Structure 1
């Protein structure tokens, strides 16, 4: 019997606990760190790689991916979808700038109710969505990297240039957080065998991530990147192949160690399946209701703090 693919994740946690390089990081929390690793997930049978050793709120992760695809950079639209995972950074900035001891709930309420306040304090700078959909070159021309990739997949699927990335050196200093998952590269295979089957072949995605919070962030990253692969494959009449994830500095925060030990004590359960309920006219048309996930039966959730 094949080994459950979630063990790739658990093996990384175990390696960090046993052999991780202990270091003080940007946040001051401290980490156990390693450099350079890979995980592979086969999606060709409808598998949706949502980890099962703790409950992953996959809808929140997919909503974040849909937000990236809009090209927006303000947390107001995220909060309207009840997604709070980006609030920590602008909240921290606001508290330091004003010395106001405002709670997260109060801050989010003001962002939602006051457009002027949201414009000033809710923007994250030119983060992922801006770079993916509205990259500005030196001549002031705007580039929609996502649209370019989809067009190339439709017209020249054997290209080795089907990628987009977010590491815009000239704009890093204006971002609330430097891009962690930086490079997304697509690869089409079995194109000839797809003839007559309604599919133009299999589509795989390799994601390069310079920095990975293994305890909290990785579970979100994997399932939202799988969701992106499903969407793009549908838009170009291909079937999903492999999601391949490559991590650079992969780390476990010191205040996540007990959570990691609990995860390692649990047995993975079968991954759920994903079906897209409809096919929108473009990559811009997907909604969270389109993601029909079945068979997700995880272990109970585990809470852990975010390092800002």
Structure 2
């Protein structure tokens, strides 16, 4: 059994047994602990969960979206990636221009009202199609504001200049590997209150070089353990492998440090189902050896090898 995956399963069990029952912004309610940490030895394999199927293509295309500095869901939709739709859709249905049926609390209502669920699907599909086909509409309602990609690649300074944090940190790893400043931050206090569709949950990460290996630690302020965290683990493990590839290093550890670490109350049954399953061996990642730079990355440059998993487990997203 993979120690990597067991770290995640143990965290789920701890939250179910010891979590504090709390209310939250979405009105769903959570079971929460504070200050958890998981460590993943990337030499053991790629930490994509096997106790439920996780869509690697969604993780890879989202990471490429971040790396490119993009903040508009149009690229994601064109790559059949729907993981950010709800936040953009929420902006659209709350706008003065929207004239369709009432979509208030669409995430929860669609679970208990079949007629509403059909209406929601129709409105969401129309929204997605319009974002894909209408660049002007996409620019206004497909953009999520200065979320991860913008902060990683074009952090706005008080002087009106921009900082390409990701490019600078890669250059620093190459030229000064022992530095303690290999840090990228997505948490920009000026942008959080009003400009972002969703304030960054994974707020900052730091690289560390030792013995020819690259490790990464992520601090995540808010962690949706069932739906979000499996993606976060795989995304930052993949980012670590890509940066190591570019810098000519082997991979070390991915260390995942979490603040408010929670399971939504309407995810408990799904978590229990996952905990009843036995993990498979972890898959591996192959990166195109001819890839000149992480900034030239395409989906075809990454291959997931030998992924075996239990079936996916569906659960509602809290928006």
Structure 1 length normalisation: TM-score?
0.94
Residue 195 of structure 1 aligns with which residue? none
Residue 29 of structure 1 aligns with which residue? 28
C-alpha separation in 2, matches of 1:253 and 1:58: 23
Query: Offset at 1:122?
Result: 0.7
1:36-55 → structure 2 map (5 Å cutoff):
36-45=35-44, 47-55=45-53
C-alpha separation in 2, matches of 1:204 and 1:86: 28
Query: Offset at 1:277?
Result: 2.2
In the TM superposition, what whole-angstrom CA distance separates every residue of 1:250-283 from its partner, at most 9, and x where no partner exists?
0000110110000110011111011112342222
Structure 2 length normalisation: TM-score?
0.91
Q: Which residue of 160, 175, 178 maps to 1:155?
A: 175
Runs (4 or more) in structure 1 with deviation over 4 Å come to none
C-alpha separation in 2, matches of 1:281 and 1:164: 22
Residue 138 of structure 1 aligns with which residue? 158
Residue 122 of structure 1 aligns with which residue? 142
1:38-77 → structure 2 map (5 Å cutoff):
38-45=37-44, 47-77=45-75
C-alpha separation in 1, matches of 2:232 and 2:158: 31
Q: Is the 8 A contact 1:234 1:279 kept in 2?
A: no
* 1:174 equivalenced with 2:192 (yes/no): no
Residue 267 of structure 1 aligns with which residue? 278
Query: Offset at 1:293?
Result: 1.6
List alignment gaps of at least 5 residues for structure 1: 191-200
C-alpha separation in 2, matches of 1:225 and 1:279: 22
In the TM superposition, what whole-angstrom CA distance separates every residue of 1:101-139 from its partner, at most 9, and x where no partner exists?
362111000101111111111110000000000001111
Q: Is the 8 A contact 2:2 2:281 kept in 1?
A: no
Residue 108 of structure 2 aligns with which residue? none
C-alpha separation in 1, matches of 2:265 and 2:161: 44
Distance 1:306 1:269, change over 3 A: same
- Give the count of matched residue pairs: 296
* 1:91 equivalenced with 2:112 (yes/no): no
Partner of 1:168: helix, strand, or coil? Answer: coil
* 1:236 equivalenced with 2:258 (yes/no): no
Residue 15 of structure 1 aligns with which residue? 14
C-alpha separation in 1, matches of 2:154 and 2:129: 29
* 1:293 equivalenced with 2:310 (yes/no): no
Query: Offset at 1:32?
Result: 0.4
C-alpha separation in 2, matches of 1:238 and 1:3: 24
What RMSD over aligned residues (CA atoms) do the two structures have, in Å? 1.2
C-alpha separation in 2, matches of 1:242 and 1:288: 24
Deviates more, 1:118-127 or 1:9-18: 9-18
Query: Offset at 1:99?
Result: 4.5
Q: Which residue of 192, 203, 208 maps to 1:187?
A: 208
